[in-house]
Amino acid sequence: RERLMGRIREQLRAQDAVLVAHYYTAPDLQILADETGGIVSDSLEMARFGYEHPGRTVVVAGVRFMGETAKILSPEKRVLMPDLEATCSLDLGCPPDEFAAFCDQHPDRTVVVYANTSAAVKARADWVVTSSIAVDVIRHLHERGEKILWAPDKHLGGYVQQQTGADMVFWDGACIVHEEFKAIELDKVRAEHPDARILVHPESPAGVVAQADVVGSTSQLLKAVQTMDAQTFVVATDAGIFHKMREAAPDKTLLEAPTAGRSATCSSCAHCPWMAMNGLRSLAGTLETGANEIHVDPGVAEQALVSLGRMLEFGR
């Protein structure tokens, strides 16, 4: 482990490269990103940091849409990822052709897509949002009298509609990780820990979101652990977040929200299989060989930059 980490530090320095990691990646990658002047964050801040950083190479430890976003925002930079096969069920469940046909059926609606989509889907959209600003963007559009076509996460979309009262039609997509959180079991955990605060990522089903004290992006949930006056938290998001939560609040008790898959052999089932494809070995290999570079068709990138640019501007 130490040798691999040393090789990665050395390569990052030699190549004027910065490591941008998501909270769901392995703790070692998060440690390296912090140590070397990179960032560990949610998907909005990852995009912003990669864009604003002066380094010539951005290495994205996360899933493919995050690498594509970095490339679209900074076409002049080299964007590498430890594994190009690291995708996302929301992205996989929203093929660009079918999505374009869905949009064509609703020409009167403003098209808003979640960041967890391909570059081609973003290119067809008017707006891109992440979970940290989805409610604010839709409220803004609703107040302007716009009707919304939302894709692809139906749970996040339903939560946003409930918060804003906007007129929305939905694509039928879900995150395979967050969809596993179970409302009935969470209710039992709340009964066992009546003083605990419940923190939920909005990709979770409505029955889980309804029990939350805080609903938010990964960064917003982390902030809640740091700032809320409570000793115990039950957390409904990918278990990767516990690395930063423990670091930020070492004296607090952090419990994983129950999932359907929990069993004697799987104590932490809420872990994205695609985020898990990022490892020290693949990261070192990518940096040493230059493999796994992200390329986005320039025409698609130019289109997608419009909707992504609105996201970055709005989030300021």
CB of 24 to ligand 13P, least distance (A): 7
Choose among 48, 40, 65: nearest CA to 240. 40
Least distance to ligand SF4, CB of residue 89, Å: 4
Which partner, ligand 13P, ligand SF4, none, binds residue 217 by CB below 5 to 8 Å per kind?
ligand 13P
Q: 119 in helix, strand or coil? A: helix
> Going by DSSP bridges, is the β-strand pair 232-236/253-256 parallel, antiparallel, or unpaired?
parallel
Q: How far is the C-alpha of 273 from the C-alpha of 30, rounded, in Å?
A: 17
Contact with ligand 13P (CB under 6 A) among 30, 118, 131, 292: 131
By the rule CB under 6 A, 238 interacts with ligand SF4: yes
Instruction: Please tell me whether residue 218 binds ligand 13P under the rule CB under 6 A.
Output: yes
Phi then psi for 259, rounded to 5 degrees? -120, 165
Which listed residue (59, 79, 174, 175) binds ligand 13P by CB under 6 A?
Answer: 175
38-46, 100-108, 141-149, 304-312 -> range binding ligand 13P (CB under 6 A): 38-46
Contact between 278 and ligand 13P (CB under 6 A)?
Answer: no
Q: Is 272 in the site for ligand SF4 (CB under 6 A)?
A: yes
Residue 130 contacts ligand 13P per CB under 6 A: yes
> Applying CB under 6 A, does 222 fall inside the site for ligand SF4?
no
Could you tell me which of 209, 174, 213, 180 has the C-alpha nearest to residue 196? 213
Q: Alpha helix locations (H) across the chain?
A: 2-14, 27-35, 43-52, 64-73, 89-92, 96-104, 119-124, 134-143, 154-164, 183-192, 206-209, 218-227, 242-248, 280-289, 298-314
Binding ligand 13P (rule: CB under 6 A), the pick from 217, 259, 278, 286 is 217
CB 168 within 8 A of CB 157: yes
**Could you list the residues that contact ligand 13P (CB under 6 A)?**
42-44, 116, 130-132, 175, 203, 217-218
Which spans of this chain sit near ligand SF4 (rule: CB under 6 A)? 63, 88-90, 116, 175-178, 203, 238, 272, 274-275
